[in-house]
Structures are given as structure tokens and as C-alpha cells.
Structure 1
Amino acid sequence: MTEHTLTVAGVAVDTRHWIGGRRVASTETFTDVSPIDGSTIGEISRGTALEAAAAVAAAKAAFPAWAATPRAERARILHAIADGVEKRIEELSIVETTDNGALLRSHRRGVIPRVVHNFRFFADWLLKLEHEDFETRGHTNHVSWDPAGPSVLITPWNAPLMLATWKVAPALAAGNTVILKPAEWSPLTASLLADIAAEAGLPAGVLNVVQGYGSEIGDALTSHPDVRRISFTGSVPTAKRIAESAANNLTPLSLELGGKSPLLVFADADLDLAVDLAVEQYDNAGQVCLAATRFLVEESVAEEFTRRFVEKASALKQGDPRDAATDIGPNIHPRQLEKIDGFVQRALAAGARAVIGGHRKDGQYYAPTLLTDVDQDSEIVQEEVFGPVLTLQTFSTEEEAVRLANDTRFGLAATLATGDPERAERVTAQLVAGTVWVNCFFVRDLQAPFGGSRHSGVGREGGTWSFDFYCDVKNTVTAPNGWKNHG
């Protein structure tokens, strides 16, 4: 072990940046704290504009060779990275749980295996990526995807490695080089990913990882003239700053932002299913951008829905996320907990009623909360809380349900519970959302487009949409009989 190595639940993690195929320390550090018990995990290298410039320079230098690497070889290396992740699922799971407080059982069973799938999916999709040639007045049109260049990927803290590799995998598959900037509240598994990628044979400079505060390193990355793509997942205010920073260079952006998604429950729905979907919104302590945090329930079943929901939600166990019996863990940071409680207390002061919860618990834990008697234009209905806080409103007609569902500045997702397929078709056609789930929740396929409408984002990623973003899509038009002088 060295002064730059932490031991986290028995796993060695390097605290330095990964730039140009080597570890680079900063003169300053920031403290990484576990949300489970508030204990200090360790000191992490705190990047500045200097490290940002070095990472972009390394990515720029590595780009020509990586872009020229045949598709089959790029795919092979991505599969090798997936192999490396697969071998270390247990280590990555315990480190990520320690770092961000999400359930260990979820990391083991779904989240980290999804990291493996991210790399395998985009490696395989790369090999079949094509557009059928077509003719225009006898001329042949051929569509191709050319690597765009160094890509800055700025990722959130609620599912750090999974959401990072949702961007890293297609960017690398496309032939781009990457500068990954993980969230400062959960940086550790990004460092481990750098080790795994290097062991898999990814050339130096193709993946770079820089840690630190967005306010200190972010602008240096997003305003850099050599950056060709920026993908960001996070808050609307930060996205606006990134867009301003990137504007001078007209750097293309993909932004996946906040949500205030509805769950519409109609009287003809299977109420047991609807309640199951509703309780699922407490997943990851409510720290899920896609969560349907606004329950819109038809008046005739609202009382029964609420009774069943309270019964089921009250049975959830909140506590240490490393315990297999735990259903809800901590919120990530004291600042986030303060934000969550502020929303709830202001809502209660304005007349809302807490059916369950409505208060902090010990440490960084917030009681699962459901608020009723809320106005449509109230802060608690209109703004993203990003914690285990849900609201319930009622409606009397289908038209009112759609109106309430669409009446926010967001449009990331929506969930619909109904027993009428014709109603489902009518309502989903009117909902403003990037993803709509009907009688289900969080079913996602990597080949599907993903992104948000309105203030929930710009652009779509997933399947070919990811390659459309990370590449310069080119159309080559060839004249007929143009080879008379050849040979």
C-alpha cells in the first residue's frame, strides 16, 4: 500500500487521477465520507484546471490511434473490460455501497452486473451498426459513423459506476477517447474502473479519470476547445452552466437531467400492482431521477390505494445498506439530507399532511414520506426533491389526470396503472415524457432511446442513438459509372 491507496472494505482503491495511462496526484485533496455512518473513507486527489488540461491533452493524443482501431478490436477490448468487471462484482459492490450508501444486495444482483452488460451491449452493437445504402437518381448513399474525438463525461452519485459506464461504453465503442469526471460524493469505483480498463488492454490515454469539484475542474473540461462531445447527468442548474461553457466551441451536448415524474392510477387498475409500483419509488432512498414521485390517483379508489400503500410502505426496513434485510438506506450527504428536509418542512408549513414520515431519522436517514393535501403549483409538487418523499393528488377524469401529469417543467418519465389498453394508448400518447411505463416500472433495454423532454434533458442515448451522439454521422454520395479511368 502507498500513501495514495485506501483500503475500503478490504479493497485497495487508488485515490489519484488516471491520466494518460498513469496515476497523477494533486497537491490538494477532498474528503470522501460514507453516508452509512458518516465515517471518513479517505482523502481523494482534488483536480484543478491543470489536471483537466492534462487529461484532455492525453485524450487528444490517444484519439487518432483509437479512432483508427478496427471495430472488432475495439469490441474485443470492451468485452475484456466487461470480463474484468465481472470478476470483481463483489469488490465493486461493497466499495460502491460504502461510498454512496445504496443497497449492497442491489449492487450485487443488478447494478454492477448492469455495468458488465453496458460494455458487452455496446461492443456487440458496434459490430452490427450499419445503415442500408440507398440510391438517389442512380447515385449511391452510404451512411457511416466517424469517431468525433475526446469526450467529457460527467456522471452523478446515485448509481456511480452504472451510470458512468452507460456513457463510457458507447463513447469508447464509437472510437472516442474519454475524460470521465465522477461525482465528488462517490468517486471510488471510477478509479477502480481505470485499473480494470488498463488490465483489459485499453491503450493509455483512451480513458482518463479526473476527480474533484465541478466548480473547480468542470469549466476547464467543458470549455476546452479540444473536447468534441459532452455528456452530463445531473441537475438543471449545473446543466445550464455546462451549456454556457460549451457554447463558445459549439460542443454537442447530451443532458439527462431531473424529473418530477407522475404515477397515474386509474380506478380500473389492479390496485395491488399499483401499490407495488408506488412503493418501488422509494428505491435507493428516493435518489432515482426516473422515480414517479407524484401519485395521481382517481378519486374513487384514492382512499383504498392510500390505505394499502401505507400498510406496505410501513413494512419497509430502513437501515444499514450492507444488511440484506434492509429496503431503504441512507441519503448520500448531509447537504442532500438538509435539502430533502427543507422541502418537506416547507410543504408541511404550507398545509400539506404527512400520511407517513415527514421527518429525519438518526444519521443520514430520512423517513419514507408521503404527503397529501398539496397544491399543484406548490414547490413540493413542482420541484425535484431527490429523496424518499412522494406526494398524492386525486383526479376525477382522464383529461384532468393528463393535465396534472404534464403540469411541471419536467418530462423525464411517467408510469401508468390501468386495466384498459385503449385508455393506456390514449393517455401515453398525450404524456410529455422520454419514457412511459404501463403497468410496470424501470424496465429498460439498452437498445431503446433514453432521455428527457423539457427541463429533463436534451438528446437521446441508447442503441444507435448513442452512436449518433458520440460520432460524426457522415453520408457519402457516389456517382454511377465514376470509375472509367480507374486501372
Structure 2
Amino acid sequence: MTEHTLTVAGVAVDTRHWIGGERVASAETFTDVSPIDGSVLGEISRGTATEADLAVAAAKAAFPAWAATSRAERARILHAVADGVEKRIEDLAIVETTDNGALLRSHRRGVMPRVAHNFRFFADWLLKLDHEDFETRGHTNHVSWDPAGPSVLITPWNAPLMLSTWKVAPALAAGNTVVLKPAEWTPLTVSLLADIAAEAGLPAGVLNIVQGYGSEIGDALTSHPDVRRISFTGSVPTAQRITQSAAANLTPLSLELGGKSPLLVFADADLDLAVDLAVEQYDNAGQVCLAATRILVEETVAEEFTRRFAEKAAAIVQGDPRDEATDIGPNIHERQLEKIDGFVRRAVEAGARAVIGGHRGEGRYYAPTLLTDVAQDSEIVQEEVFGPVLTLQTFTTEDEAVQLANDTRFGLAATLATGDRDRAARVTQRLVAGTVWVNCFFVRDLQAPFGGSRHSGVGREGGTWSFDFYCDLKNTVTAPKGWKDHG
């Protein structure tokens, strides 16, 4: 091991940036800590505007050749990256669990295989990306997707590698070069991705990874005049700052932001199914932007629903995420834990009642919590907590249910439990959300559009929508005459 390498559960991870196909160290570092037990994992290179400039310059230099690379060759390399991910699923899983506290079993069985799938899906989609030519008064219209240029991708800590590759894969498939900045709380697995991509034959400078704080390196990236696309997943305040930074250069943005999604439970629903859906919202210790944290239950079944929910939630096992028996691991950081606890304490002081939970556990664990007797205009109902905290409200009519569901500044997702197909059709049409699940939750297909409405985001990615964002769409109109025969 070198001074720039740390070992996590036997896996060597380089702590330096990846710029232009080389490891680059910074003069200063920041400390990476595991949320599982608070142990220090290592010191990570702390980038500034200097590293931002180097990374963008590397991406700009590599762009012409990568943009000119054939679709088939780009797809081949992305499949090779997916092969590399699959060979290292166990390494990636244990490193990410140690770094962000999510369940090891989920990383092994679902998350890391999805990382590989991200690359395979967009590689395959690239090869079939097409728009049928059409005619206008005898002239032929041909639509093409031209690579836009260097792209800055800024990703969150709750699913670091999966959400990074959800952006990296389509950007690279589109022919763009990338500068990726992971969240400073979870920098490790994207460093391993750099190694995997290099081994797969991705040319130097096509993928660059820089680490550090948003205030020190993020602003330099998002305001850079050579950046042609910015994709960000995170909080509304950060998105507002990024938007201001990008405005001077009119850099196109894709923003996937927070949520305060509802789960509507009607009296005609399968209550056992509805309870299962509600308890599922505690997944990843509540650190899921799509989570339906506002449970809205028809009044006639609210008492029975609450009883069954409390019984089901009591069986949740909270503990070390490396243990196969664990259902919920820790929250990411002491600062996040204090934020969660502050939300709950203020809600209780305002009159809310904790049906379950409502308190911290040992270390960085927060007890799964359900609060009732909450006002619609209260902070706990209106603002994103991003922890294992749900609220429960009741309604008496379908109109009231929809009104409550839509009455926040967010619009990322919504979940609906009902046994009536006609009601499902009516209600889903009226809900303000980028994704609506009916009698299910978290069923995701990469060919579907993904994004949020209102303060939950700007734009959509997924399938062709990703290529529409990462490319400059061009329409070429060709006349039927004026040609000279050179035969």
C-alpha cells in the first residue's frame, strides 16, 4: 500500500483524483468516515478550482476523438466496463456498504448488478437510437443526436455508484466526455470505477473523477465555460446555486432534487399490501429521494392500517448493515442525524404524536418513526427529512386525498394503493409527480422517463430522454434536387 491507498475490508482504494487517465493528488485532504461505527476510513484528496480546471481540460481534449468514435465501438467499451463491474461486485459491495452504511445484501444482489446494467442498457440503447426520416414538401428531414461536449455530473451519497453510473453511462454512450464529482461523504466506489473503466479500455480523459467539497470544487466545475452539460442529483438549495453558476454560460441542466412523496391508501385497497408498501419506505434508513414519507389513509380504515403498520414495523431489524439479518442500517453522518432528530423534536413540540420511534438510537442510528396528529402546513409534512421518518394523515374523499397529496412544493413521485381500477386511473391523472406507482413501489425501468416536477427537478433522463439531454439534437433537411451526377 502507498500513502495514497487505503484498504477497506481487504479492498485497495486509491484516494486520489482520476484526471486524464492518471492519478492526481491534492495538497490537502478531507477525512472519510464510515457511518457504521464512526471509524476513519482514510484521507481523500481534496480538490479545488485547480483540479476542476485540469479535469475539464482533460475532458475537452479527449472529446473530439471520443465523439468521433463509432457507436459500435462506444457500446463495446461500455459493455467491457459492465463486465469489469460484474467481476468486482463483491469488492464494490463491501466498500460501498462501509462507506455509506446501506445494506451489504442489497449491494450484492441488487445495487451493484444494477450498476453493470446501467452501462449495458445505454450501450444497447445507443445502437438502436433512431428517428424515422420524414418528408416536408418533398424534402427529407433527418434527426441526429450529436455529442454535446464535456459534461459535469454531481452525485449524492445515498446510492453513490448506482446514481453516478445512471449519469455516466448515458453521457459516455452519447459521445460526451465526463467530469464526475461524487459526494464528499462517499467517495470510494467511484474511485474503483476509474480503475475498472481504465481496464476496460476507456480512453484517457473520457472519464475524469474529482473529489472534494462543493464550495471548493463544485462551483468551479459548474461555472466553467468549457462545460456543455451539467447533471445533478441532490438538494434544492444546492441546485439553486448550480443553476446560478451555470447561467452565465447558458449550460443546459438536468436536476433531480428532493421529494416529499405521498402514499395514498384508499379503503378499497388490500390493506396488507398497503402496509407492506408503507413499511418499505424505511428502506436505506429513509435515505431515498423517492420515498413516500407522507402516508394518507382513508379515515374509515386508518385505525386498522395504523395497527397493522405498527406490528409490521416492530419486526424491522436495525443494526450493522453487513449482517444479513439487518433491515435498516445507520444514517450517513452525524450532521444528517442531528437534522433528522431536529425535525422530529420540533414536530412533537408542535403536537405530533410518535406511534413508533421518535428518538435516536446508539451511534448513527435513528429509530423508524411514524408521526400522527400533524398539520398539513407543518414543517414535518412540507419539508424533506431524508431519514426513517413517516407521517400519517387521514382523508374522507378522493378529492381531499388528491388535494393533500399535491399540497407541497415537491413532485417527484407518488404511490397509490387501491382495489378500484377506475379510481386508480382518475387519481394518477391528477397527481403531480414524475413517477406514480399503483399497488407497487420502486419498480424502475431505464427506458422510462425519470425526473420530478416543481421543486423536485428540471428535465427527464432515461432511455431516449437521456440522449436528448446529453446530445445536441440536429435536424438535417435535404432537397430532392440540385444534385450532380458524378458517376
Cross-structure match for 1:31: 31
2:380 corresponds to 1:385? no
Cross-structure match for 1:330: 330
Moved segments of 4+, more than 6 Å: none
Cross-structure match for 2:299: 299
Cross-structure match for 1:356: 356
Cross-structure match for 1:8: 8
* Distance apart, 1:181 and its partner CA: 0.1
- After superposition, the C-alpha distances for 1:432-474 in whole angstroms (9 at most, x for unaligned) are 0000000000000000000000000000000000000000000
Q: Give the letter for the 1:131 counterpart.
A: H
1:210-225 equivalences under 5 Å are 210-225=210-225
SS at match of 2:367: coil
Cross-structure match for 2:61: 61
SS at match of 2:225: coil
Cross-structure match for 1:455: 455
Distance in 1, Cα, partners of 2:486 & 2:62: 36
Provide structure 1 residue ranges, at least 5 long, that are not aligned to the other structure: none
- After superposition, the C-alpha distances for 1:246-266 in whole angstroms (9 at most, x for unaligned) are 000000000000000000000
2:204 corresponds to 1:208? no
1:416-435 equivalences under 5 Å are 416-435=416-435
- After superposition, the C-alpha distances for 1:218-263 in whole angstroms (9 at most, x for unaligned) are 1100000000000000000000000000000000000000000000
Cross-structure match for 2:111: 111
Cross-structure match for 1:408: 408
Distance in 1, Cα, partners of 2:469 & 2:37: 40
Cross-structure match for 2:473: 473
Cross-structure match for 1:260: 260
1:10-409 equivalences under 5 Å are 10-409=10-409
SS at match of 2:224: coil
* Distance apart, 1:484 and its partner CA: 3.0
* Distance apart, 1:312 and its partner CA: 0.3
Q: Which moved more, 1:193-202 or 1:474-483?
A: 474-483
Distance in 2, Cα, partners of 1:341 & 1:19: 39
Distance in 2, Cα, partners of 1:176 & 1:273: 43
Distance in 2, Cα, partners of 1:45 & 1:139: 56
SS at match of 2:211: coil
Distance in 2, Cα, partners of 1:109 & 1:240: 36
Cross-structure match for 2:446: 446
Distance in 2, Cα, partners of 1:485 & 1:447: 43
* Distance apart, 1:485 and its partner CA: 5.2
- After superposition, the C-alpha distances for 1:80-116 in whole angstroms (9 at most, x for unaligned) are 0000000000000000000000000000010010000
Sequence identity (%): 90
* Distance apart, 1:269 and its partner CA: 0.1
Provide structure 2 residue ranges, at least 5 long, that are not aligned to the other structure: none
Distance in 1, Cα, partners of 2:486 & 2:140: 18
Distance in 2, Cα, partners of 1:206 & 1:333: 32
* Distance apart, 1:387 and its partner CA: 0.1
Structure 1 length-normalised TM: 1.00
Structure 2 length-normalised TM: 1.00
Q: Give the letter for the 1:14 counterpart.
A: D
* Distance apart, 1:483 and its partner CA: 1.1
SS at match of 1:61: helix
SS at match of 2:44: strand
SS at match of 1:94: helix
Distance in 2, Cα, partners of 1:432 & 1:16: 42
Distance in 2, Cα, partners of 1:278 & 1:357: 15
Distance in 2, Cα, partners of 1:6 & 1:313: 38
